Amino acid sequence: MTADQRKRSIAAKPPAVQRPRKTRDAALAQATILGVARAHFVSQGFAGARVDEIAAESGYSKAMIYHYYGNKENLYVAVLEEVYKHFVAPRRVLNLAEVGPVRALEAFVREGAASVRKDPAILNLLAIENLNEAAYLRGSTVPRAIYPPLLTQLKEILDAGVQQGVFRAGIDPVQLYVALSSVIFHAVSNRFTLSVTLGTDTASSAFLDRHVDMSVAMVIGYCTTSPRTGPVRTVRK
């Protein structure tokens, strides 16, 4: 074959197909790892969860998990942070001038209840971290970044209610948040034991719907009722 023939032969061949290199989808990998890790931490706690089991179930190696999170403690904190960012914090920013403070407060309570009912496992994680006295969450900046805007929103609702004469003055937004959280979270976190002890299916949608309605009425009633003055006297029969 002459030099000219070789050139023509090479030119006639189709160019080699450049196969795209398989790139690692970091976002998908981390979301998958966190989802599996959360299930393990919920069911087994921090001490009982095993990184090798999380790796096997997620389909990603332990090396990759350590690449993203460094160690088991950081993975656990990342799971807690996801819970706070996606389930605890979200609240719609309502136009107070349009809906009014009462409806805004109702929406605030209902959305908090809806987020918990949508994924009750988040309360298990918070319970585990409370047993640990917030030892792992204490070093995270995420909750401290989430709660100030949440409390600011609640304070704006209360202030608007006071200005319009529908809410009484002097309500501490932090105290109110703790109170309404207790009301709406307890029924979900203790739904199984309450069902047994009360002989009622407190985990049913019908029961929880009524409970949320009552919780809203209690919170709004507290904000719209004049505070009791003087000591509470016990009536003796």
Q: Which of 42, 70, 98 is the last residue of a domain?
A: 70
48-78 pLDDT per residue, tens: 999 999 999 999 999 999 999 999 999 999 9
* Contact predicate 105/157, CB 8 Å: yes
140-182 pLDDT per residue, tens: 988 888 888 889 999 999 999 999 999 999 999 999 999 999 9
52 and 133 in a single domain? The answer is no
Which pairs from 154-162 meet CB under 8 Å and 24+ separation?
Answer: 154/108, 156/96, 157/96, 157/101, 157/104, 157/105, 157/108, 158/101, 158/105, 158/223, 160/96, 160/100, 160/101, 160/104, 161/101, 161/102, 161/105, 161/223, 161/224
Question: Considering the domain boundaries, does residue 168 fall inside one?
Answer: yes
Please report the pLDDT score of residue 143 as a whole number: 83
**Residue 126 is part of which domain span?**
84-224
- pLDDT for 8 beyond 80: no
Distance between first and last Cα of the chain:
120
Q: What is the pTM of this model?
A: 0.78
Question: Considering the domain boundaries, does residue 152 fall inside one?
Answer: yes
